């Protein structure tokens, strides 16, 4: 097992999901709910999010085949998408593909439990950036890489669950300034991951074209 690669996977998922910065969002959309309901929402949201990540991690190649998508093209587009998320976070802006919209927030007030699906599970935890990262890590479907990706995702989902359950304490400990610093740092890491995915995709595309040209 490549522990360096596994460490990169854990770091990548931590950066893109950003459990620390999701805590105040969870606290906001579950405001006014009882502790039992908050715990239920947290568990359901993380379980659904992991299910989405696992689906795209395991079935990535099948999805590619059905839609005629290549891994190279996905890495290029996914890299650009992940970079956009990172750049927006670095500039202190909530990502449009990672954070819930005002409409999502309004819908959340109508039901205490449906927030587990949207906006918490998706797009907050298992958004396009997370899915792109998971499929990029899984690569060509090698069983070991897929297993490593799932384990890394499960670890960060567990951290995310803890951040949801202890969101009130975490917000009080870090304060708004601390949350801003963490969000910008995670944004920088996400942007670097996106750039790496983009470079891998471009390199594969050039190599494939060179082979085809021969």
20-74: pLDDT as tens digits: 878 877 877 776 788 888 899 999 999 999 999 999 999 877 877 888 877 778 7
Q: What is the pLDDT of residues 144-165, one digit of tens each?
A: 999 999 999 999 999 999 999 9
Is residue 30 within 8 A of residue 41, CB to CB? The reply is yes
Domain range holding 135? 3-213
For residue 184, is pLDDT > 50? yes
Task: Return d(Cα 56, Cα 10) in angstroms, integer.
Answer: 17
pLDDT at 110 over 50: no
Tokens 């568990």 label which residue?
A: 43
Half-sphere exposure of 101 (CA within 13 A, CB side): 5
Q: How many domains does the chain have?
A: 1
Mean pLDDT across 158-178? 84
Report the distance separating Cα 200 and Cα 206, nearest Å: 10
With 0.75 as the threshold, say if the pTM is over it.
Answer: no
Residue 112 to residue 31: CA distance in whole angstroms: 9
- Better-scored residue on pLDDT, 52 or 193: 52
């Amino acid at each position: 097992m490549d522990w360096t690669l596994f460490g990169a996977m854990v770091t990548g998922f931590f950066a893109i999901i950003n459990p620390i910065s999701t805590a105040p969002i969870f606290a906001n959309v579950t405001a006014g709910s009882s502790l039992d309901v908050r715990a239920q929402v947290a568990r359901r949201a993380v379980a659904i999010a992991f299910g989405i990540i696992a689906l795209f991690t395991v079935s990535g190649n099948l999805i590619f085949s059905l839609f005629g998508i290549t891994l190279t093209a996905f890495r290029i587009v996914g890299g650009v998408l992940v970079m956009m998320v990172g750049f927006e976070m670095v500039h202190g802006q909530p990502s449009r593909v990672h954070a819930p919209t005002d409409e999502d927030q309004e819908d959340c007030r109508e039901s205490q439990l449906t927030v587990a699906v949207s906006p918490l599970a998706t797009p907050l935890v298992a958004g396009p950036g997370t899915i792109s990262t998971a499929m990029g890590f899984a690569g060509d479907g090698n069983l070991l890489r897929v297993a490593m990706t799932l384990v890394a995702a499960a670890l960060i989902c567990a951290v995310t669950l803890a951040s949801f359950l202890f969101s009130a304490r975490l917000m009080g400990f870090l304060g708004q300034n601390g949350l801003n610093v963490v969000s910008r740092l995670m944004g920088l890491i996400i942007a670097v991951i996106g750039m790496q995915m983009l470079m891998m995709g471009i390199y594969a595309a050039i190599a494939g074209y060179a082979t085809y040209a021969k």
